[in-house]
Amino acid sequence: MLTKRMKVSLITGAILGVVCIVGASIRSGFEHEATFLFAFWYNRLLMGFVIGLLDAKIGMPKVLYRGAGIGLLVSFAFYSSIGFGDPVGFIAGIIYGAIIEYVAIKYG
């Protein structure tokens, strides 16, 4: 189960999770609690996990749509759980899903 694609997806998701933590902290003026920031990071890690499970044998244009779609679905869970309070984070999740999928195809 821990294929090269899965490892690449998880690492990319973890790195992008750190980017999200930094972005959310800056946007909020460093007001967010550690549990909120951890949940943000974990959401991106989960996105990497879900994308890592998918089959890699599709063309590149479809990859970006599929990655963005998974990013939308996974990010919406977090976005709705915080009362739809961070639309920037939600949009970033869609973009990060496409990035994770691209990196997984390229290096996984």
pLDDT in tens, 89-102: 999 999 999 999 99
Q: Against a cut of 0.75, is the pTM above it? A: yes
State how far the alpha carbon of 14 is from the alpha carbons of 30, 76, 87, in Å. 20, 18, 20
- Cα(95)–Cα(83) distance, rounded to whole angstroms? 21
Number of structural domains, the chain? 1
Give the pLDDT confidence score for residue 90 in this predicted structure: 94
**Sequence-distant contacts of 20-26: CB under 8 A, at least 24 apart:** 20/44, 20/89, 20/92, 20/96, 23/88, 23/89, 23/92, 24/86, 24/89
Give pLDDT tens digits for 11-28.
999 999 999 999 988 988
Residues in the chain predicted with pLDDT less than 50, given as ranges, are none
- Domain range for 59: 4-107
